[in-house]
A and B are shown apart, each in its own frame.
Chain A
Amino acid sequence: MTDQAYNFAYLDEQTKRMIRRAILKGLAIPGYQVPFASREMPMPYGWGTGGVQVSAAVLTPDDTFKVIDQGADDTTNAVSIRSFFERTAGVETTTKTSEASVIQTRHRIPEEPLTEEQILVYQVPIPEPLRFLEPRESETRKMHSLEEYGLVHVKLYEDISRHGHIATSYAYPVKVEARYVMDPSPIPKFDNPKLGDMAAIQLFGAGREQRIYALPPYTQVVSLDFEDHPFEASKADHPCGLCNATESYLDEVIIDDQGGRMFVCSDTDYCAARQAAGHKGKDAA
């Protein structure tokens, strides 16, 4: 029974306390990237080591845990992280958004509005929104501390000059409480409006880059834009092929080699719940 040989939720208590301190600091300074001593986890970088450490630090034995990867509960990444905490923490797991108290996510925010009883943990690959134009960490830190954010708009300017519109469609930069510019992790910009004024706590963990940042409940989050090119939360202009939802974010699925394709909700729990309630799309069996 090797599982019993591990401390609750894999990490030792000292590490969890260290991570909790980083989380508390992040919550106190919304959008600020707090450095933390990221641990080696039994999974490769890029598989959510940052999110897993944050989840481990906030989970309690009474929690119900849900993991989504691009909105889906049933992909390899989601399944393995879910089973990791089933084994190391023994917590309840679920695929239902409303039943979960802690939701770890890669690249999506669930469609169903979250509540004050919930915590959303994001997996973050590159936490620094200024990194694409300024490679020096010393310089980006200074830019954050001095609120020198002209560079973010240079990126958006380049987008418009090259594509005629802001082509950035995910990891779209936001400004938090009119202070820190933050990378919301690679969520589609469709999800950006949900970041602000959310009832749940949002925590962001970047394992490889060793950064934690956070949005406390009901934080003001504004997507950056130009006056003449305002921010737009875009999605594929179709209803879901399975549940006929028109308000959800859709994945495009290629279904044959004849160019056939369908659009389905990326949030599998949301889609399944709608189908169970009798909604039916044109591609539903």
Chain B
Amino acid sequence: MRPLLSVQGVTKHYGAHIGCADVSFDLYPGEVMGIVGESGSGKSTLLNCMAGHLAPDAGQVVFDTRAEGPKHTVTMSEPERRMLSRTDWAFVHQHARDGLRMGVSAGGNVGERLMAVGARHYGNIRDKATDWLERVEIDAARVDDRPTTFSGGMQQRLQIARNLVTGPRLVFMDEPTGGLDVSVQARLLDLLRGLVRDMGLSAIIVTHDLAVVRLLADRLMVMKSGRVVEAGLTDQVLDDPQHAYSQLLVSSVLQV
């Protein structure tokens, strides 16, 4: 089997400061990988390098595109990369308002990616948007309401619908449950887990919440000071951490 995403030696500096250094891994189709670490450990920098939002200083990212097979996303042309980010990729931001158009109705938000790839039939776009609202457990009657009238959890689910409507293969998530109530988090996690399985998605989830990765991620990377200090099967890293920092991280979580 060919990796969906192959990351080799990705390095990003901010001046003298290390964003992330020499990160390498392969992500296979259907795999969900978690990246954990404290604030400033470089996990978001790495995510943004992989998703094409930041240009790494060194290293390469190869993505197996639907249309043309493996391609280097760092060196490909910007239009190509932006096209990928509308078709094969999805990006779920921590704050829903970074990933939504707050002045546009829920239906318009979900429909945008469809229109961006050429959908021109209003009825079909609307049907698909309504269908997706229901899949993320938002009442279809809210299709014409703006996200400003939605709760935080609903906004996050709307962001997910908006991202998944074009059937991407790789979803980047940056703290997808951050800032949500615990009960809302559980619902979102359950939803994400179902979508990941039903759509055969691969995902990379950056979070500092170990419970989130235990429930969603097959694999885990632990980062500290821009470097990967440990990687492996999620439950193995959490239950039998090998690196001093991973042990500290795991033992620092309050048990409930």
Q: A residues within 8 Å of B by Cβ?
A: 133, 142, 146, 148, 150-151, 153-154, 157-158, 160-162, 226-229
Contact = CB atoms under 8 A, between A and B. Distances in A.
Interface residues of B, number: 24
B116 A150 contact: yes
B117 interface: yes
Given A160-B122, A227-B120, A228-B123, A148 B82 contact: yes
26 contacts: A142-B78, A146-B79, A146-B82, A148-B82, A148-B116, A150-B113, A150-B115, A150-B117, A151-B112, A151-B115, A153-B115, A154-B108, A154-B112, A157-B111, A157-B115, A157-B122, A158-B105, A160-B122, A161-B107, A161-B143, A161-B144, A226-B120, A226-B121, A227-B121, A227-B122, A229-B122
Contacts of A227: 120-122
A162 B111 CA distance: 15
B214 interface: no
A150 B113 CA distance: 7
A228 B111 contact: no
Nearest to A150: B116
A58 B234 CA distance: 70
A228 B121 contact: yes
Contacts of A142: 78
A117 B185 CA distance: 68
Residue with the greatest number of chain B CB neighbours at <10 A, chosen from A151, A153, A227: A153
A151 B78 CA distance: 18
A167 to B, nearest CB: 13
A154 B111 contact: yes
Contacts of B125: 157
A161 B108 contact: yes
A154 B86 CA distance: 15
Contacts, number: 55
Nearest to B143: A161
Contact of A154 (B104, B120, B123, B143): B104
Contacts of B121: 226-228
A157 B144 contact: no
Contact of A228 (B112, B117, B122): B122
A151 B103 CA distance: 12
Nearest to A147: B79
B101 interface: yes
Contacts of B72: none
A148 B111 CA distance: 14
Contacts of A228: 121-123
Contacts of A146: 78-79, 82
A157 B129 CA distance: 12
Nearest to B144: A161
Contacts of A133: 101, 103-104
B251 to A, nearest CB: 45
A160 B123 CA distance: 10
Instruction: Select the residue from B86, B104, B117, B121 with max chain A CB neighbours within 10 A.
Output: B104
- Of A148, A157, A160, A227, chain B has the most CB atoms within 10 Å of the CB of A157
Nearest to B79: A146
Interface in B122-154: 122-123, 125-126, 143-144
Contacts of B122: 157, 160, 226-229
Contacts of B113: 150
Nearest to B121: A227
A228 B122 CA distance: 6
A150 B144 CA distance: 18
Most buried by B among A158, A160, A227, A229: A158
A157 B130 CA distance: 14
Given A153-B120, A226-B120, A226-B122, A158 B104 contact: yes
A154 B120 CA distance: 10
A151 B82 CA distance: 14
Which of B79, B103, B122 neighbours the largest number of chain A CB atoms within 10 Å of its CB? B122
Interface string B70-104: 00000000110010001000000000000001011
Given A158-B104, A158-B108, 13 more contacts: A133-B103, A142-B78, A148-B116, A150-B113, A150-B115, A153-B120, A157-B122, A157-B126, A161-B108, A226-B122, A228-B121, A228-B122, A229-B122
B122 to A, nearest CB: 4
Going nearest first, the 7 A-B pairs with the smallest beta carbon separation are A150-B116, A153-B115, A226-B122, A150-B115, A146-B79, A227-B121, A161-B144
Contacts of A229: 122
A158 B82 CA distance: 24
A162 B103 CA distance: 13
A80 to B, nearest CB: 37
Nearest to A229: B122
A140 B79 CA distance: 14
A144 to B, nearest CB: 12
B147 to A, nearest CB: 13
Contacts of B123: 228
A153 B86 CA distance: 16
